[in-house]
Amino acid sequence: MKKSIYILLCAGLLSAVSACKKDTEVITQLDPALKLPVPEPPIQGFDISTIKDTYADIADYANSAKWGPYNLHDPSVIKDGEYYYCFSTDAAFGYGEGTLKPGIMVRRSKDLVEWEFRGWALNGLPQQAVDYIKSVNATYKPNSGIWAPYILKVGNQFRLYYSLASDGFRVSAIGLLTSNSLEGPWTEAGLAVKSGTNGPGTNAIDPSVVVTPAGDHYLYYGSAWDGLFVVQLNPATGLAMNSGDLGTRIVRRGKTGNTYNGNLEAPEIIYNEELQKYFLFVSYDWIDTKYNVRVFRSDSPTGPFVDWNGENADTQSDHVAQLVVGPYAFKEHQGWQGTGHCAVFKAPNGQYFMMHQGRPHENKFFMDMHVRKMFWSDNGWPMVSPERYANVEQTPITRADIIGEYEQVIHGYNTVPGYATEQANPDINVAVANNPMLHADGTIFGDVNNTWVFDETKSTLEMRWAGGLFVDKVHVSRERDWERKKTSTIVMTGYNGGGLALWFKKVN
């Protein structure tokens, strides 16, 4: 997440920092002073159409039990038993300096559609990270909220990594909390990575962890200044294998002149067992405007990671503009921006999903949960559904179903060097003016030079342009049409030959 809290309207100084705790002291979950309501049980007969883009009417803490899909930023997701649990950054619409509650937001769901807000994992800031920041400079103030948690299970222990930054330049810490339950209580278990103003390295925030098939643990982290890093962890402790190790840089962004082309942050790492590759998702640009998700892959957890064209991600360039998801707008909606900092996770049935924040263009300070199904292209790259997940029944799709009119979003990219000021325009990719028409005779727009072929066995479609000179390949599925409030329609996602993401939604 971009580290300028005033943009998020979610910064506030912690009114009091608790006395120093021992390393093994349990941190309670409930802040009795806030008198938060007990989370309400899921509403019987949940109506998905009640999910809104904006939620000012329930934005105050007294209504936090209703925040299921709202105030979602920098998520991390795990499945345990019948529930998916989501941990996320302390960010809340309308709360700023001195009013934000810290503690890592927690919510859960059985179906990834209806979410129950459970409250906060902690009651305040983790003391070990606070102590580190103060040890660097007693005048430094830790940020009022905890950022970008990451959750995983090791044996019977849940490990919850977190980020705490400060007003000291690059003075931050990634700490570890442990528990035998996702409901807590959580115990401080040390600091995995610490960063400072001087020397090589980057900002110690935005952790993500992968466990290799051999049982090795690696943590990925970083933001902005000098790229993203990977450091090996001790599997037994969850902390750096070698104390003080900042790891190795694996991703960088390009510059235009002496100005970076935007922010680089939010690494999310997964290992795909079927493809036997590591996939590193990262976020580019400013959090509430141009924020978008890219991806690199590698045969090794330590890299080199490469882009669509095979270029090393540690090369100082912006690489191929392969947006897995970015600001977009289908027709009949103002669109979504700030679509970055993702969590990627796998359901027990093998289906991959991506969760990320989405900010409605009508008011970019609202932060909504977006969950999308993830698919894999023929050449082994991840792609996500054009529409948010709604647990739509996946009845077989036939060639006859494909025929019709579609809205199309092309995820192009415009490089704008700089940060908040320079990237004020979200550069939303709006649906193209002329809706593509797939005709029964296999032509597109009725032009014999542009044709389509659907493979019902694989649920894939090829669009062949200019007599086959250009070929776009997409995956076909069913999903809710959120813009038109339609229960189910056909959607397609894929890439062209150059890695440009293409989204289609059937409207007629």
Q: How many CB atoms lie within 10 A of CB 347?
A: 12
Q: What average pLDDT does range 443-450 have in this prediction?
A: 96
Model pLDDT, residue 226: 83
Same domain assignment for residues 295 and 428: no
Q: What are the tens digits of pLDDT across the range 371-420? A: 999 999 999 999 999 999 999 999 999 999 999 999 999 999 999 999 99
Q: If you average pLDDT over every residue of the chain, what do you get? A: 91
pLDDT tier at 260, thresholds 50, 70, 90? very high
Q: Largest Cα–Cα distance of the chain, in whole Å?
A: 75
Burial class (CB in 10 A: 0-12, 13-18, 19+), 474: buried
Domain with residue 260: its CATH number is: 2.115.10.20
Identify the domain containing residue 449 by its residue range.
Answer: 399-506
Q: Which residue type occupies 491?
A: V
| Position 101 in a domain | yes
213 pLDDT more than 70: yes
Do 204 and 164 sit in the same domain of this protein?
yes
List the strands of the sheet with 248-251, edge to edge: 208-211, 217-221, 228-233, 248-251
Strands 404-410, 437-438: pairing kind: antiparallel
Residues 331 and 287 in one domain: yes
Q: Which of 350, 384, 418 is a domain's end point?
A: 384
460, 429: one domain: yes
The CATH code of the domain that includes 431 is 2.40.128.10
- Cα(55)–Cα(95) distance, rounded to whole angstroms? 13
What burial class does residue 138 get, using C-beta atoms within 10 Å of its C-beta: 0-12 exposed, 13-18 middle, 19+ buried?
Answer: exposed
Lateral strand order in the sheet of 277-284:
264-272, 277-284, 292-298
Answer yes or no: do 279 and 171 share one domain.
yes
- pLDDT score, position 235: 98
Task: Answer yes or no: is 479 within a domain.
Answer: yes
Q: Which residue, of 340, 360, 384, is where some domain finishes?
A: 384
pLDDT of 156-191, one tens digit each?
999 999 999 999 999 999 999 999 999 999 999 999
Together in a domain, 380 and 435: no
CB 189 within 8 A of CB 21: no
**Dihedral (C-alpha) 181, 186, 189, 193: value to the nearest 10 degrees?**
100
298 lies in the same domain as 411: no
Task: Tell me: pLDDT of 251 over 80.
Answer: yes
- 19 pLDDT more than 70: no
Q: Are residues 156 and 34 in the same domain?
A: yes
Strand, helix or coil for residue 188: strand
Rounded to an integer, the average pLDDT of 211-239 is: 95
- Burial track 487-500 (b if 16+ CB lie within 10 A, e otherwise): eebbbbbbbbeebb
Whether 317 is in a domain gets the answer: yes
Q: Are residues 301 and 407 in the same domain?
A: no
Question: The tokens of 142 are what?
Answer: 């830790």
Quick one: 213 and 270 in the same domain?
A: yes
Residue 217 lies in a domain: yes
Cis peptide before 304 (omega within 30 of 0): yes
On whether both 447 and 343 belong to a single domain, the answer is no
- Indicate whether 252 pLDDT > 60: yes
Listed residues 328, 358, 384: the one ending a domain: 384
Average pLDDT in the 29-49 region? 54
Asked if the model's pLDDT at residue 20 lies above 60, the reply is no
Q: Does residue 235 have a cis bond before it (omega within 30 degrees)?
A: no
Q: Is residue 432 part of a domain?
A: yes
CA gap 472, 493 in Å, rounded: 10
Question: Is the separation of the CB atoms in 258 and 274 below 8 Å?
Answer: no
In a domain, 393, yes or no: no
User: Which residues are catalytic, by number?
Assistant: 74, 265
Per DSSP, helices labelled H in 104-202 are: 127-136
Using DSSP, how many helices (H) and how many strands (E) does the chain show?
3, 33
Identify whether 498 is part of a domain: yes
Using the CB atoms, write b or e for 270-297: b if 16+ within 10 Å: bebeeeebbbbbbbbbbbbbbbbbbbbb
Do 430 and 338 share a structural domain? no
Going by the DSSP 8-state scheme, the letter that residue 50 receives in this structure is G
Structural domain includes residue 100: yes
The tally of domains found in the chain comes to: 2
- Tell me, what's the pLDDT at 12? 34
Cα angle vertex 476, ends 470, 477, to 5°? 165
> For strand 208-211 and strand 76-80, is the pairing parallel, antiparallel, or unpaired?
unpaired
Tell me the pTM. 0.91
Share of the chain above pLDDT 90, in %: 88
